[in-house]
């Protein structure tokens, strides 16, 4: 058996048979009010959207939504590989495709090369400059 219920014009709660009041506005529109509180606030011309306990306020402030509707669909960000200064995109892809052992061997060879160059420059530097200028602090004025 289905019971005919009305909705309160203020709170939008259900009004069961035998409860509430029917208020006829000046323009002739019937308004169902579920409680004396709703009637009082309607006569004071309060807006339902500004009253926290009404369904209008809850709808306006997105309260009580089901979890399924709440989750937003987001587009996944796609990673884009870009060229770096000094390396083109093809070079980067080639390096990534190389075996780790090969890359570590290349790195070791490059380190050895740098170390030998440093030794050579160090040996040249020591023999050439025997006298250095004395350091003067920056805040001291020279005459």
pLDDT at 67: 61
68 pLDDT more than 80: no
pLDDT at 27: 96
- Assessment of whether the complete model's pTM goes beyond 0.85: no
pLDDT at 130: 57
42 pLDDT more than 60: yes
Mean pLDDT of 46-61: 95
Only one residue has tokens 């409680």, namely 35
- Would you state the structure tokens that stand for residue 116, as one six-digit string? 């030998």
Phi and psi, residue 124, nearest 5°? -70, -40
pLDDT at 135: 80
- Reported as a single tens digit per residue, the pLDDT across 109-126 is 999 999 999 999 888 876
How far apart (Å, rounded) are the C-alpha atoms in residues 117 and 92? 27
- Reported as a single tens digit per residue, the pLDDT across 125-141 is 765 555 677 787 888 77
DSSP code per residue over the chain:
-PPP-EE-TTT--EE-TT-SEEEE-TTS-EEEE-SHHHHHHHHTT--GGGSTTSHHHHHHTT-S--HHHHSPP-PPPPP----BTTB-HHHHHHHHHS-HHHHHHHHHHHHHHHHHHHHHHHHHHHHH----PPP--TTSPP-
- Reported as a single tens digit per residue, the pLDDT across 1-38 is 889 999 999 999 999 999 999 999 999 999 999 999 99
């Amino acid at each position: 058996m289905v019971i005919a219920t009305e909705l309160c014009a203020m709170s939008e709660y259900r009004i069961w048979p035998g409860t509430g009041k029917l208020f006829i506005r000046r323009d002739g529109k019937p308004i169902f009010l579920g409680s004396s509180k709703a009637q009082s606030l309607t006569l004071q011309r309060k807006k339902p959207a500004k009253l926290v306990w009404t369904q209008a306020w809850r709808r306006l402030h997105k309260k009580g939504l089901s979890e399924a509707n709440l989750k937003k669909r987001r587009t996944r960000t796609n990673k884009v590989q870009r060229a770096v200064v000094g390396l083109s995109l093809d070079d980067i892809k080639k390096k990534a495709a190389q075996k780790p052992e090969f890359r570590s061997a290349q790195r070791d060879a490059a380190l050895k090369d740098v170390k030998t160059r440093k030794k050579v420059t160090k040996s040249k530097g020591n023999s050439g400059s025997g006298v250095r200028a004395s350091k003067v602090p920056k805040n001291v004025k020279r005459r």
